[in-house]
Each structure stands twice: as structure tokens, then as C-alpha cells.
Amino acid sequence: MKLCSKEALLWGGIYCVLATPLSYLDQEGTVSAVLFLGFVVGMVLLCFNKVPKFIYYVINHYPRTSYYLMSIGWVPYFVFIGLVGIIAVASFFEWGEEMLNIVMKVFGYISAAGIPLSLLIAFVREKFCKIRNDKCRISVK
């Protein structure tokens, strides 16, 4: 199962980078829905250890870019699992509309703050690894 690996994080990072600007351009949401469907299909394929070759290509040929994509790759998984969890908990405890709005707002703040914070941590970590003679290289064979 590859869901907790570099490949899954890279897949989530690619989805995040593609879906964010396109969601602002597409008012009906059709492009976003197609991208999300592709993300879910890729997630299912990763569960069965079927990794597309371009994922390995990106990791091996563009290690720095893939490192930053992996740093934000957790966000789509967090959003997907979090929304399912919030809906399940809200229906179980029968939250009112106000409580659900507050929880969704906090969830949105965490998701929105997570991307720049993850990129900042990745930047600092990459600079720290350069000081230690590049012992933190990312590669997949």
C-alpha cells in the first residue's frame, strides 16, 4: 500500500497545484470535478501499488520540485478524509447549523494555513540539509 509514501504525497501535491487555480477559473465546477475524480482514481491505484511511471520520473528527474510538491501533498488527503469525518460526526451527534459552520470554518482555516506553512517548513528543511552536505536527497529507484 503506497498511501503513506512519497508517491502518494506527490500525487496529492500535483492535484493541489492543478486544482487550485482551475477552481477559480471554472465557475460550474466541471474541471474541478474531473480533476477530483482523477485524484480519487489515482488514490485507489496507489492503494493497490499501481504507481504511474511519470510519478517516478518526476521524483528522479526533478527532486527539488517533487520535494515541494510532496510538502503540500497532504492537503487533499486531509480535506477528503476530514470532510467525510465531519459529515459522519455531524450526523451522529446531530450538530446544529451554527456548530457545523464553526467546525467547517476552522477546518478551512487549517487547510488554508497548511499550504504556506508546509512550504515554509520544506524550504527551511531543504536549506538545513544543504548545510549538512546534501544528506537529505530524495530519490526512488
pLDDT in tens, 61-98: 998 899 999 999 999 889 888 888 888 888 888 888 89
**Residue 37 lies inside a defined structural domain of this protein:** yes
**Residue 101 lies inside a defined structural domain of this protein:** yes
Contact (CB, 8 A) for 23 and 3: no
pLDDT at 57: 92
Q: At residue 141, does pLDDT exceed 80?
A: no
Name the residue with cell 465546477.
Answer: 29
**Residue 141 lies inside a defined structural domain of this protein:** no
More confident residue, 126 or 14: 14
Count the domains in the chain: 1
Distance from C-alpha of 102 to C-alpha of 105, rounded to nearest angstrom: 5
Please tell me the pTM assigned to this model. Answer: 0.79
Which domain does 57 fall in, by range? Answer: 6-131
Mean pLDDT, residues 93-119: 89
**Residue 23 lies inside a defined structural domain of this protein:** yes
Q: How far apart are the first and last CA of the chain?
A: 17
**Residue 73 lies inside a defined structural domain of this protein:** yes
Put residue 49 in one of left, alpha, beta given phi > 0 → left and psi -120 to 50 → alpha.
left
